[in-house]
Chains A and B, each alone.
Chain A
Amino acid sequence: MSTPVAADVLSASPPATARLRPVARWRRRLEAFGASRPAAVGLAIVLVWIVLAVLAPAIAPYAPNASDLTALAHPTPSRAHWLGTDHLGRDLLSRILWGARPVLVIAPLAVLGAAALGSLLGLTAGYYGRWIGAVITRACDIVLSFPVIILYMIILAHFGSSAWNIIGVLTLTKAPIIARIVRGMTLDLREREYVAAAKMRGESALYIMLVEILPNARGPLIVDMCLRTGYNVIIIGVLGFLGIGLPPPDPDWGGMVKDTYGMMMVWPHMALFPCAAISSLVVGFNLLAVGLRELGLRD
């Protein structure tokens, strides 16, 4: 049961945000994050990783690929190497910090690519319906029904593994999911009266899709993009683990686990620290997504 009167009372309060300047409006939005604990924690984790990645050249104690041969005998954490070194004597802390850089570029770019492609497909499928919608929906289902890991292996083995190829593969495999969400919302939104009003003033289909419909789908879309970014971090790790991630020797979290998991029984820290890095970033994005959904992302 709802409390209709309460809703009326709240909506009748003076429209404070309408008159705020942009700076103040952003401050208000950030304050809103404080209202949701998951959002605040998630945002904090993600921001910390972004800052660390940006500052990696300045704060990393060693070069990421420099071997400290003296540490090889005792690779465990020590005063010289806070997180220890790997089996080649490379400082784990430095490698994790440097390893955050490609992840934090590839995962969001791939999500943006997927969102752009998926939104276009979803809008087209939802707005036109009929056979266009059917064709797009079926095509998306086909991509989604593929075992993705095998798809990654085939494509990356064929085209070679590089940052751009990984972005491309992630875009292609994530776009159908976004398309499905956007199509569902479009089916609903296209029946709104403001869409009819736009038609009555002779707007083009593209304008209606991009300017009238898409902005109103942004709430669930942004939540989902946040979630997908986290999943992409996992997939980048998996690709690194399978050896088809970013080419060595530059540090890559998944690759770091692959190189050292054989020594798990002896030196567990070599694999566990990169794993922890992946997990924390994924948890950060997931919490952010949960929080954004909680906040409803109005305005």
Chain B
Amino acid sequence: MTDGPLLQLRDLHVVYRSRAGDVSVIPELSLSLQAGEALGLVGESGCGKSTVALSIVRYLGRAGRIAGGQIVFEGRDLTTLDLAALRAIRGRRIAMVYQDPMASLNPVMTVGRQLMEVPMIHEGVSARVARERAIAMLGEVKLADPAAVMDRYPHQLSGGQQQRIVIAMALIAGPALLIMDEPTTGLDVTVEAAVLDLVRELRRRHRSAILFISHNLGSVARVCDRVAVMYRGGIVEEGPVRQIFANPRHPYTRGLLDCLPTLGRDKRQAPLVPIPGQVESATARGAGCGFARRCAHVEAGRCTSGPIPSLVVEGEPQHRVACVRAGELPLWRRRTSPAVADDHGADGEPIITVHHLTKVYEPQRRRRFGAARPIRALADVNLAAARRQTLAIVGESGCGKSTLAKVLSGIEIATTGGVTLDGSEVGRLGVDARSASLRRKLQMVFQNPDSTLNPSHTVGYAIGRALRRLRDGAPADVGAGVARLLEVVKLTPAMASRKPHHLSGGEKQRVAIARALAGDPDVIVADEPVSALDVSVQAAVINLLNEIQAAHGATLVFISHDLGVVRYLADHVAVMYLGTVAEVGRVERVFAPPYHPYTEALLSAVPVPDPDAAVARILLEGPVPRADEIPRGCPFATRCPRRIGAICDDTPPPVQQLAADHRIACHIPGAELQRLQTPLVGSAAAGR
């Protein structure tokens, strides 16, 4: 092999056909990747990251076309290869891992068969050799009992296991380049941490180069050597991971870092700074810097005329940035909260209280063989949210946090126990049974921006209808009310005539917030309201929720799997596991020792956007027990790294009141936990 880079993109130009003619999605992009190197490609959605990956293997589909430039891989230009030669490279020399593992696996074949196919097709080895290699590979991706896994079908495996299989399939041919497109985006944080660690370890062993595409700066920091930041189809900044994170030069890179909620940020001390506007369409490309219209440092003339060259940063020869003002901007500083301060004052009286709440789903149909077991989604949950405060509920998927939201909002009703809303018992009242005034007191913001608004209705109708239904009497002027609400969520009143498919994800979520605000609710339940949004948009929506809460004095029940967001926004946090509350308390107490062992594992799994962050890693072993097979004792006992013995398996843990506003459910005494644990957030955040 030659000494040159493994992969080199030279002036790559990609266009997509659309009704309005060809659109240059990637106008001109150059990039190189050395053998064995891991390069992270980051940027908001719509900036062309996936297009780059797809054009490397020429998988652009019918609408896309490489209009110019070269893709040189191992000395050959992939843009000119015929399909047969390309097939020999795909899968064998270049392998891809996509976001959704289920879409990459064939549901009617055992995973073993699918793994064996790769060497059998590409290297023509016998089935027996292929089987041995497949089993060895499954061992390498840390799947327990590889021989048994070989005979499973994809649907019999969890999401994390499926992604491991896909990674095994990608690596089994020993590719020189592994392209990973958002490989951990759909996974829970503890699973994500394990997969990222696996990628790091396998990389060292297999010496494959990795092109790692992600919108998550934290996971990029954990895996990559070098980072390239993309914006509107071009690379705006590129360099070694340490230099990019310590000394970001491009305003866009800084924007991405500033809008990222991390474990060290708190809404009182280090506010998030969203990047204004949104990624502009590729059709309207003016002269000069593509980021100019969203940039706070833009200078008319210099930034907006002529192409922006990519220049080497002074003193950092491998660090390049495409910004004419890069040298003039002040140095960037990581925004972190100073020492944790307890300055919240006393809590108000609770407006919503959950007491001994249990929700059991009865199986719909009796199974023919063996009785179907009821599924216990919530078990004896006790929580309270004070007026004007934010209660965050955090946990992995399947922990019951969404079920709790549904019971609070009346979409589901409690099996036993109850919910008190401003003095009225509503746990057994479905939405239909609640009075108009109760409905007005509690409204909800949903997770999915694409399904939260009715695509057939205009924004004005959606908000106006909520105003009419939830306000007392008929408001004199619904139009004016809609305009006022749109202004509250920082949208223009002209939006009222739009339909949802003309809105971006962030705009839809704002409209949904305006709709929830129509009745001036006392409690807003937000179920993962920002998890489907880009970081930059997410920051703006989080700030909006925060402002609205301060202005309207509403209580926010905020459900999230993102600990960074929770740390930033919450006053109180409840950590849930398998339908029970493992730990609950003031946010700075939950995020500091003594932790519940589960909280500790969650916190240590969060990818921190700082390559130097030395975090004591706790990896959880084994799968989450199924909801119909919850352990008798502590629900976390099967995976707990601090399990102390049989008592954990047999006896439900006592709830320890560690402070006036801090409870954990664990057999280990709080003082003992305090002694065993080191602070996880401090070490990650205090650095600089």
CB distance B279 to A12 under 8 Å? yes
Q: Is the CB of A196 within 8 A of B60?
A: no
A262 to B5, CA, bound (A): 83
Residue of A8, A15, A194, A202 touching B469 (CB-CB under 8 A): A202
Question: Does B409 count as interface, using CB distance less than 8 angstroms?
Answer: yes
The 7 residue pairs across chains A and B that have the minimum distance between CB atoms? A15-B502, A215-B456, A8-B46, A193-B446, A12-B281, A6-B16, A201-B469
Does residue A68 face the partner (Cβ distance < 8 Å to B)?
no
A141 lies within 8 A of chain B by Cβ: no
Any chain B CB within 8 A of the CB of A79? no
Find the B residue at minimum CB distance from A194. Answer: B454
A104 to B150 CA separation, bound complex (whole angstroms): 62
- Given known A-B contacts A197-B452, A200-B409, A201-B465, A5 and B444 have beta carbons under 8 A apart: no
Bound complex: CA A115 to CA B469 (Å): 30
A33-60 vs B, Cβ < 8 Å mask (1 yes, 0 no)? 0010000000000000000000000000
The answer to the question of B410 belonging to the interface, with a C-beta cut-off of 8 Å to chain A, is: yes
Whether A1 lies near B46 (C-beta < 8 A) is no
Q: Are B46 and A12 within 8 A (Cβ)?
A: yes
CA distance A81 to B468 in the complex (A): 66
**Pairwise interchain contact B431-A3, C-beta atoms closer than 8 A:** no
B451-A194 in contact (CB<8A): yes
* Among candidates A17, A203, A216, residue contacting B455 with C-beta atoms closer than 8 Å: A216
Report which A residues bind B (CB closer than 8 A): 1-6, 8-15, 17-19, 35, 192-194, 196-197, 199-203, 212, 215-216, 218, 298-299
Which of A3, A13, A200, A298 contacts B283 (CB under 8 A)? Answer: A13
Cβ of B283 and Cβ of A193 under 8 Å apart?
no
Nearest residue, chain B, Cβ from A192: B451
One of B280, B434, B499 near A18 (C-beta < 8 A): B499
**How far is it, in angstroms, between the C-alpha of A179 and the C-alpha of B49 when the chains are bound?**
44
Contact A3-B281, Cβ < 8 Å, known A9-B23, A18-B498, A193-B451:
no
Residue of B nearest to A195 (CB): B454
Contact code string B222-242 (vs A, CB < 8 Å = 1, else 0): 000000000000000000000
Complex Cα distance A199/B453, Å?
13
> B453: which A residues are within 8 A, CB to CB?
194
Q: How far is the CA of A134 from the CA of B277 in the complex (A)?
A: 50
CB atoms of B59 and A11 under 8 A apart: no
Instruction: Produce 1/0 per residue, B11-49, CB < 8 A to A.
Output: 000001011100101000000000000000000011011
Tell me, yes or no, whether B448 is within 8 Å of chain A by CB: yes
CB-CB < 8 A to B59: which residues of A? 1
Closest chain B residue to A199, Cβ basis: B431
Q: Are B51 and A5 in contact (CB under 8 A)?
A: yes
B355 within 8 A of A: no
Please report the C-alpha to C-alpha distance between residue A11 and residue B443 in the assembled complex, in whole angstroms.
30
| B50 and A4 form a contact (CB under 8 A) | yes
A35–B19 alpha-carbon span in the complex (Å): 9
In the complex, whether B640 has a CB less than 8 A from a CB of chain A is no
Does B200 reach chain A (CB closer than 8 Å)?
no
B436 at the interface (CB under 8 A from A): yes
Which chain B positions have C-beta within 8 A of A299?
499, 501
**Overall SS of chain A's interface:** helix
Please name all residues of chain B whose beta carbon is closer than 8 Å to the beta carbon of A1 when the two chains form the complex.
Answer: 54, 59, 61
Task: Indicate if the CB atoms of B281 and A13 lie closer than 8 Å.
Answer: yes
Closest A residue to B466 by CB, please name it: A201
> Is B48 in contact with A18, judged by CB distance below 8 angstroms?
no
B455 cross-chain contacts in A, Cβ below 8 A: 216
Within 8 A of A (CB), among B398-432: 409-411, 431-432
Q: Are B446 and A3 in contact (CB under 8 A)?
A: no
Report whether A3 and B498 are in contact in the complex, using a CB–CB cutoff of 8 Å. Answer: no
Contact for A15 among B49, B456, B498, B515, CB less than 8 A: B498
Once the chains bind, are A216 and B16 in contact (CB under 8 Å)? Answer: no
User: CA of A1 to CA of B181 in the docked complex: distance in angstroms?
Assistant: 13
User: Are the C-beta atoms of A12 and B444 separated by less than 8 Å?
Assistant: no
Known: A193-B448, A201-B469. Contact between A298 and B18, CB under 8 A? no
In the bound complex, do residue B411 and residue A199 qualify as a contact, i.e. CB atoms below 8 Å apart?
yes
Q: How far is the CA of A35 from the CA of B18 in the complex (A)?
A: 12
Which residues of B (582-615) have their CB < 8 Å from a CB of A? none
A4 to B59 Cα, complex, angstroms: 12
Measured CA separation A193–B18 after assembly (Å): 31
Question: With the chains together, A196 CA to B45 CA distance in Å?
Answer: 28
What bracket does the count of chain B residues touching chain A fall in? Answer: 35 or more
A9 and B469 in contact (CB under 8 A), knowing A193-B447, A199-B432, A200-B443?
Answer: no
Given A18-B499, A200-B443, residue A8 in contact with residue B45 (CB < 8 A): yes
Return B177 CB to nearest CB of chain A, in Å. Answer: 18
B354 contacts partner chain A, Cβ-Cβ < 8 Å: no
Q: Find out whether the CB atom of B501 lies under 8 angstroms from the CB atom of A3.
A: no
CB distance from A182 to the nearest CB of B (A): 15
| Further 12 A-B residue pairs, CB within 8 A, beyond A3-B63, A6-B16, A197-B515 | A9-B23, A9-B25, A12-B504, A14-B281, A15-B498, A17-B502, A18-B499, A192-B451, A197-B512, A199-B411, A199-B431, A201-B519
Cβ of A270 to closest chain B Cβ, rounded Å: 48
Chain A residues contacting B436 (CB-CB under 8 Å) are: 202
Residue B470 at the chain A interface, CB threshold 8 Å: yes
Interface contact A5-B447, CB-CB below 8 Å: no
Considering the chains assembled together, what is the distance between the CA atoms of A212 and B457 in angstroms? 8
A9 near B18 with CB under 8 A, answer: yes
Q: Is B439 an interface residue (CB 8 A)?
A: yes
Residues of the A chain whose Cβ atoms lie less than 8 Å from the Cβ of B50:
4-5
Contacts of B466 in A (CB 8 A): 197, 201
- Give B476-517 as 1s and 0s: 1 = Cβ < 8 Å from A's Cβ atoms: 000000000000000000000111011010000000100100
**Which residues of B have CB within 8 Å of A215?**
454, 456-457
Q: Complex formed: what's the CA distance from A13 to B61 in Å?
A: 21
| B282, CB-defined interface residue at 8 Å | yes
B557 to chain A, nearest CB (A): 14
Given the complex, which residues of B lie within 8 Å of A9, measured CB to CB? 16, 18, 23, 25, 46, 281-283
Inside 8 A of B25's CB, which chain A residues have their CB?
5-6, 9
Closest to B512 in A: A197
> Residue among B434, B436, B454 with the most chain A CB within 10 A?
B454
Question: In the complex, which of the residues A192, A199, A201 has the most CB atoms of chain B within 10 Å of its own CB atom?
Answer: A201
A6, A11, A17, most chain B CB atoms within 10 A:
A6
Which B48-71 residues have C-beta < 8 A from chain A? 48-51, 54, 59-61, 63-64
Q: Which residues of B contact A17 (CB under 8 A)?
A: 502
B456 touching A216, Cβ below 8 Å: yes
**Residue from A8, A17, A192 having most chain B Cβ neighbours under 10 A:** A8
Taking the closest CB of chain B, its distance from the CB of A50, in whole angstroms, is 28
Contacts of B432 in A (CB 8 A): 199, 202
| Contact residues in B for A199 (Cβ distance below 8 Å) | 411, 431-432
- Tell me the minimal C-beta distance from B549 to chain A in angstroms: 19
A19 to B492, CA, bound (A): 14
Q: Which of B49, B454, B465 has a CB less than 8 Å from the CB of A216?
A: B454
Q: Nearest chain A CB to B541's CB is how many angstroms away?
A: 16
User: Which of the listed residues B51, B63, B502 has the most CB atoms from chain A within 10 Å of its own CB?
Assistant: B502
CB-defined contacts of A2 to chain B, threshold 8 Å: 61
Which single member of B434, B501, B515 contacts A11 (CB below 8 Å)? B501
Q: Which residues of A contact B46 (CB under 8 A)?
A: 5, 8-9, 12
Chain B residues in 8 Å Cβ range of A201: 439, 443, 465-466, 469-470, 519
A6, B18: Cβ atoms under 8 Å?
A: yes
Asked if residues B502 and A18 are in contact (CB atoms below 8 Å), the reply is yes
Give A212 to B18 CA distance when docked, in angstroms: 31
Chain A CB within 10 Å, residue with most, of B19, B281, B434, B448: B281
Cα distance A50–B59 in the bound complex, in angstroms: 47
CA distance A194 to B516 in the complex (A): 12
Interchain CB contact under 8 A, A196 and B515: no
Docked complex: B276-323 residues within 8 A CB-CB of A: 278-283
Q: Shortest CB–CB separation between residue A31 and chain B, in angstroms?
A: 11
Bound Cα distance from A4 to B282, whole angstroms? 14
B678: shortest Cβ distance to chain A, in Å? 41
Residue of A nearest to B449 (CB): A193
Partner of A13, one of B20, B278, B519: B20
In the bound assembly, the distance between CA atoms of A201 and B470 in angstroms comes to 6
